[in-house]
Chains A and B, each alone.
Chain A
Amino acid sequence: MPLLDRNGTKVDAWTRSEGSGIDNLSQALVPWEALTEALQHKTRDQRIGVVIPNNIRIAELKLVLRQLSLIAVSFPAYSDGRGFSLAKLIRNHGFTGTLRASGPLIADQFAYALACGFDEIELPEASAARQPVEQWLKAVGQISHGYQRGYGDSHNILDQRRTARAAGRLAAS
């Protein structure tokens, strides 16, 4: 399925495995149900990713976070926003690997996904066919700064105002 990140389309280096059998896959993406077993069979230079449903409890997930290189959060529909909160929670719990949003998102959600901590979007063929990558790259920059602190970089409006205030104080003194 087509994959893109903030730089454009990219090749998927991960191989999906339906069960826990990860044989000699160097980057294996397994379903949540098969994760425990897959982790048991993992060799030293194998990397494991997991596909999770969006109703998973962070309490369960956090136990395995450090063994994972990629987490793909499922979006059953673009209108189901649980994945955004889940991503934020996963990042807040210290996950530094790759976070993937997987499902029929729309270009207008790209900026939100990145701000919540996702690195990449994996789209079903039909959505990708309708929405060429140029649209995603355009949409992502349409609102240059949001108001929320703690989402992405420190270019949010509140922090920029703070910086401006600090500069003003310096100038005045």
Chain B
Amino acid sequence: MYRYDEFDERFVRERVAQFRDQVARRLDGSITEDEFKPLRLKNGVYLQLHAYMLRIAIPYGTLSSKQLRQLALIGERYDRGYGHFTTRQNLQFNWPKLRDVPEILDLLADVEMHCIQTSGNCIRNVTADHFAGVAQDEIEDPRPTAELIRQWSSLHPEFDYLPRKFKIAVTGAEHDRAVIKAHDIGLRLRRHPDTHEVSYEVSVGGGLGRTPMIGKVVRDYLPKDDLLAFLEAIMRVYNLEGRRDNKYKARVKILVHEIGVEEFRRRVEEEFARLDGPSVNADPAEVARIAAYFKAPDYEALPAISRVLEATKAANPAFARWVEVNTIPHKAPGYAALTISLKPVGEAPGDATSDQMRLVADLAEQYSQAEIRVTHAQNLVLPYVRQRDLFAIWQRLGEAGLASANIGLITDIISCPGLDYCALATARSIPIAQAIQHRFADDNRQKAIGELNIKISGCINACGHHHVGHIGILGLEKRGIESYQITLGGDATENAAIGEILGPGLAAEDVPDAIERIVNVYLSERAEGESFIENVRRIGLAPFKAAFQEVAHAVA
């Protein structure tokens, strides 16, 4: 993991002091509420429905045990004993008091954490593949790139007052687990076919919200050394030319859409060619310094398949099932990357209590190099687990209600906070997730359905990624009543796609029925080994629409 040096340490401490001073200047009237708002947002402090909300940055979703314990402590001392992991790999506290925020920031700084740019019209917390460093399909670890961007984008003098928020995601693998195509900038590390040099494919203009768009490639192979200069060129074009007359049209996706990707690319390349790259880019020694922190741990030499694991699996079907669903093959023989589900049936997706955080921190310390990852699907990962330790981990997770075997399945639902917490919400989303989870709680049924991503947002802003859910659910409000619009065929991976609307909105209580009908179409139409999304792509929307209409008519 990255560790702060003296410069990082001072920077974060000074930022805390600066925020204290900003609060003081707000209180004495030096700055107006209007002027204070972006300052507080840029430090993660939102004003929400019931209270302030504090969003803590977990850069590229990587946490140490020590950091997770500190989050547990903060949750206990300043919140109600839990926190909410978000689709941007961050953690939100829903009930802190404004006056406590500087103290919380101090506690975070003690463990090399902060809330810098977790909100506001600036470059936000950089996200990355949660299996970075351990996935078998990885070309290069994305975290050094993400850390370099974290530093470069922090309090950037030129790009802190952008037209709108700006999100960057990085992946180094073939399979995109970081949803890079739904980000303002998506970076993919890939090898050049001729030179075999690792470089970046750069996409710009993805985003969800009310105008969902898939990012477009502006550079196929950017040499790694040129990263910061190229980012500077993109940001400068956007900062100068992004629309500022209408906040709904201010994201870079709209600029790319309005002038066309060719013209956007031309302007970026022109600026990139003109600016003095060597004076902007990090020198290779700096990149190497950062990369060294992400070196693989010293793995034990182990057989590819652990006999202990096989034996415990054979003796315990529930455990076997959990291993099958919640782990992925690892780069190192005899190891596994384990995803801990924060989606037990009936709980708010992504919530974890302080006790649960402590347990995961302990397990990581004992079994996974004291490292944890947060996934954009709102789960946690122990990236370096020996296969033979899985049984012990499973038992302890089970005691804490954290052993659900549902990663990637129909109950592993992404959901935003919705009307339960969010001031912008038009409908509830957590209760909808819970109702669907109850409907499909049966393990065998989930297994029979296989991989299926449901994503729920409580309003058009799409924090729950509904556009890229295999099944997306959007909560709206029609004449004072919640109404849920269902989309089908979205995809958050390298085959990124925006889902299509199936029909008229439904009442909350009809949503589980509609989902069930959609799933039944798949179960009866699927070919051998065909997943839900493959089936939708092959047979098209029509059969699903027909089934959906039956629900819509029955209730109309």
Contacts and interface: CB of A to CB of B under 8 A. Distances in A.
A115 B244 contact: no
B286 A158 contact: yes
Interface stretch (B12-20, B343-351, B380-388): B12-20
Interface string A140-152: 0011111111111
A108 to B, nearest CB: 6
Contacts, number: 124
Contacts of B30: 107, 130-132, 135
Contact of A151 (B157, B244, B286): B157
Contacts of A152: 157
Given A78-B35, A162-B286, A138 B152 contact: no
Q: How large is the interface on A (under 10, 10 to 19, 20 to 34, 35 or more residues)?
A: 35 or more
Interface stretch (B273-281, B304-312, B435-443): B273-281
Contact of B285 (A55, A112, A165): A165
Given A81-B162, A149-B282, A161 B289 contact: yes
Interface stretch (A2-10, A12-20, A23-31, A86-94): A86-94
Contacts of A92: 274-276
A162 B283 contact: yes
B151 A112 contact: no
Interface residues of B, number: 47
A172 B18 CA distance: 38
Given A143-B155, A150-B279, A161 B286 contact: yes
Interface stretch (B21-29, B215-223, B475-483): B21-29
Contacts of B17: 142
Given A78-B161, A145-B11, A162-B286, 20 more contacts: A79-B161, A80-B244, A81-B162, A82-B239, A85-B158, A85-B240, A86-B240, A92-B275, A92-B276, A108-B39, A131-B30, A139-B18, A142-B18, A148-B152, A149-B279, A149-B281, A158-B283, A161-B289, A162-B283, A162-B285
Interface of B: 5, 7-8, 10-11, 14-15, 17-18, 21-22, 25, 29-32, 35, 38-39, 121, 151-152, 154-162, 228, 236, 239-240, 244, 274-276, 279-283, 285-286, 289
30 contacts: A55-B240, A81-B239, A84-B160, A85-B236, A86-B240, A88-B158, A106-B35, A109-B161, A111-B157, A112-B157, A113-B157, A115-B158, A116-B157, A116-B158, A135-B25, A135-B30, A142-B14, A143-B15, A144-B10, A144-B14, A146-B157, A147-B151, A148-B157, A149-B282, A150-B280, A152-B157, A158-B283, A161-B5, A161-B289, A162-B285
